[in-house]
Structure 1
Amino acid sequence: MINKLIKKVNRLQDWIDAGIQRMEERTSPKRKVFILLSLLVIFGSISIYMTISSVYNLGKNRGRQIEIEHIHRLELEQRSTRDSITNKNNMRYEYGKRGQ
Structure 2
Amino acid sequence: MGKTRKWLHYIPDRISDAMRYVCGRMSPDVRLIVVVAMLVGFSALSIYITVSSIYNIGKRRGEQMRIERMRQLELHPGISKDSIHFNHDRKHEREQNGKTAGNGKEE
Within 5 Å, give how 1:76-87 maps onto structure 2.
none
| Amino acid aligned to 2:47 | I
Q: Which letter does structure 2 place at the counterpart of 1:52?
A: V
Q: 1:12 Cα deviation (Å)?
A: 2.2
1:26 aligned partner = 25
User: Per-residue deviation at 1:8?
Assistant: 2.0
Aligned length: 64
Residue 47 (1) aligns with residue 46 (2)? yes
**CA distance 1:10–1:56, change in 2 (3 Å):** same
Residue matched to 1:14:
13
Structure 1 residues 4 and 52, CA, compared in 2 at 3 Å: closer, same or farther?
Answer: same
Deviations along 1:19-50, one digit per CA (max 9) or x if unpaired, are 21111111011111111111111111111111
Report the Cα offset of residue 62 of structure 1.
Answer: 5.3
For residue 9 of structure 1, report the CA deviation from its aligned partner. 2.3
Structure 1 residue ranges without an equivalent (≥5): 66-100
TM-superposed CA distance for 1:59, in Å, is 4.2
Segments of 4+ in structure 1 off by > 2 A? 58-65
TM-score in terms of structure 2 length: 0.51
Structure with larger Rg: 2
